[in-house]
Amino acid sequence: MAKLKQSNQSFLQDLLSFQGSLNGKSQFLDEVRLKGAEEVKNIPFPHRKDEDWRFISLRDLYTDDYELATRLDVSVPDISEHYLPESEGSRMVFVNGVYSEEHSQAEALPDEVEIGNIADLASEDHPLLKEHLGKYGNFEDDVFSSFNTAFLDDGAFIHVPKGVKVDAPIHLLFVQTEADVNYFATSRCLVLADESSEVTIVEDYIGLGDNKYFNLPVFEVNLEEEAYVKHTKIQRESKEAIHLARTGAFVAKHANYESYTITRGAKLSRNEPRISQRDEEVEFTVDGLVLIDGDQVSDTHSVMDHRFSHAESHQLHKCVINGKAHSVFNGKIFVRKDAQKIDSFQENRNLLLSRKGLVNTKPQLEIFADDVVCTHGATIGQLEEEEMFYLKSRGLNDQQARELLIYAFALETIENISVESVQKLLVDEVHKFTERQLDSQLTA
């Protein structure tokens, strides 16, 4: 047993041997990576005894060997079906972590917007990149974000200057291909929204095959005063993949950050959004939808950190669980001392459809200011018999009624997403999920 523990502690450290292949292009990035590697060596690998990791096992991750994704030589199939029509001319594509210039476009964006690959900008010593990179992750003592930093190379950098409103949603498409070996990728995004700017980002992960790999993305976003960022994340990694993602957002005065995370793929996935207030009077939303079946495990650990007065925050997290799937939710709402007049809402609703499914949920309030209104709720249940009866009495058969109800349950989290094609895509995903759910029920 002791041996096993030691082996998972060294798991990430052993992979650091691949790091050398990245060096030499930019002194700045070399130093950043070196720092990341140091942290990886000093931060303990999570253990099930840690409160934050007690419900999921990382065994599937650390019991395999992996190759660095960017070293693979793979042919890229046609991926145009995954493009969003609204983002023609505002798209960045990464294949197995490598920036693909031929698939990317930026001509629909206003000239003032700076968009580019982190590795390229770093070699030019881009001042904004150097100033802001790594400042908004806010993940101290997290070995996975340090590991991401240790392999920081290609990635998306977006800077929207003061007063610029970007109409076209920017599509960041991360494609993971099939390969003969297990591999790992660590994508990175940095979004800087200056004063009174507006931008919509779609962060999109797709696994093209059914192969095993792990992905540890980190997404950083900074909102200056009165900035408005709409961030949708869609995770459709391969059925065998492991996806452990972090999102760090800092929100300044009068700014508004909206995030919607859709989890559909990966065998094991974990999302850790952390939203921190930088000043008074902000708004933020951290909604999520999880649709899992088979032996999928999905974990969401969110932090809404209210540090100053007058914030309004909203979190609606919904999960549909079928098969042997396991869903975990831990939503922390912090209200620091003197952060008065906070209005925070959190709700986690779970639809548990199968005998073998499992739900763990732990909404959490930690409040140190007295003049606040914070509520949270959590429910676990199944389809209401009365609702089923009602629909059936209107002529729907059992299947149709179930499908309609699951669909309606999931839809609430989707309908606020502003990009039409993304909404449509998600509606299709929900549809496919309910269909599969019904198939498995019929065969069971």
Partner 1 sequence: MSETEALESMVGGEYKYGFTTDVEYEDFPTGINEDIIREISRRKNEPEWVTEFRLEAFEKWKQMEEPDWPNVEYETPDFDKVQYYSATKKKNKNKPESLDDVDPEIIETYKKLGIPLEEQKQLQGIAVDAVFDSESIFTTFKEKLAEAGVIFCSISEAIQDHPELVKEYLGSVVPKGDNFYAALNSAVFSDGSFVYVPKDTVCPMELSTYFRINNMQSGQFERTLIICEDNSQVSYLEGCTAPMFQENQLHAAVVELVALENAEIKYSTIQNWYSGDEEGQGGIFNFVTKRGHCRGDNSKISWTQVETGSAITWKYPSVIMQGDGSIGEFFSVAVTNNRQQADTGTKMIHVGKNTKSTIISKGISAGKSNNSYRGQVKISPRADGAQNYSVCDSMLIGQTCGAHTFPYIESANPTAKVEHEASTSRVGEDQIFYLQQRGMDEDDAISLIVNGFCKEVLKELPMEFAVEADKLLGIKLEGSVG
Report the interface residues with partner 1, using CB under 8 A.
51, 337-338, 340, 350, 352-355, 357-382
422: nearest Cα among 209, 56, 171: 171
Neighbour-count burial of 53, counting CB atoms closer than 10 A to its CB (0-12 exposed, 13-18 middle, 19+ buried):
middle
Cβ of residue 360: shortest distance to partner 1, in angstroms? Answer: 5
Of 89 and 381, which CB lies nearer to partner 1 in the complex structure?
Answer: 381
Of 368 and 389, which CB lies nearer to partner 1 in the complex structure?
Answer: 368
Residue 276: beta bridge partners? 250, 305
Name the E strands within 134-267: 156-160, 170-176, 183-185, 188-193, 198-207, 213-215, 218-223, 228-236, 242-251, 256-263
Cβ of residue 381: shortest distance to partner 1, in angstroms? Answer: 5
Of 378 and 427, which CB lies nearer to partner 1 in the complex structure?
Answer: 378
Report d(CA 81, CA 94) in Å as an integer. 15
Residue 330's H or E segment, with its range, is strand 326-335
Cβ of residue 274: shortest distance to partner 1, in angstroms? Answer: 18
* Dihedral Cα 123, 129, 130, 135, nearest 10 deg: -140
Helix (H, G, I), strand (E, B) or coil at 380: strand
Cβ of residue 339: shortest distance to partner 1, in angstroms? Answer: 10
Question: Residue 30 half-sphere exposure, CB side, CA atoms within 13 Å?
Answer: 8
Of 369 and 427, which CB lies nearer to partner 1 in the complex structure?
Answer: 369
Of 110 and 381, which CB lies nearer to partner 1 in the complex structure?
Answer: 381
372 and 343 Cβ atoms separated by less than 8 Å: yes
Cβ of residue 53: shortest distance to partner 1, in angstroms? Answer: 14
Of 96 and 302, which CB lies nearer to partner 1 in the complex structure?
Answer: 302
Of 109 and 328, which CB lies nearer to partner 1 in the complex structure?
Answer: 328
Cβ of residue 160: shortest distance to partner 1, in angstroms? Answer: 36
Cβ of residue 350: shortest distance to partner 1, in angstroms? Answer: 8
171: nearest Cα among 231, 128, 112, 120: 231
Residue 22 amino acid letter: L
Of 201 and 325, which CB lies nearer to partner 1 in the complex structure?
Answer: 325
Cβ of residue 327: shortest distance to partner 1, in angstroms? Answer: 10
Neighbour-count burial of 415, counting CB atoms closer than 10 A to its CB (0-12 exposed, 13-18 middle, 19+ buried):
exposed
Question: Residue 414 half-sphere exposure, CB side, CA atoms within 13 Å?
Answer: 24
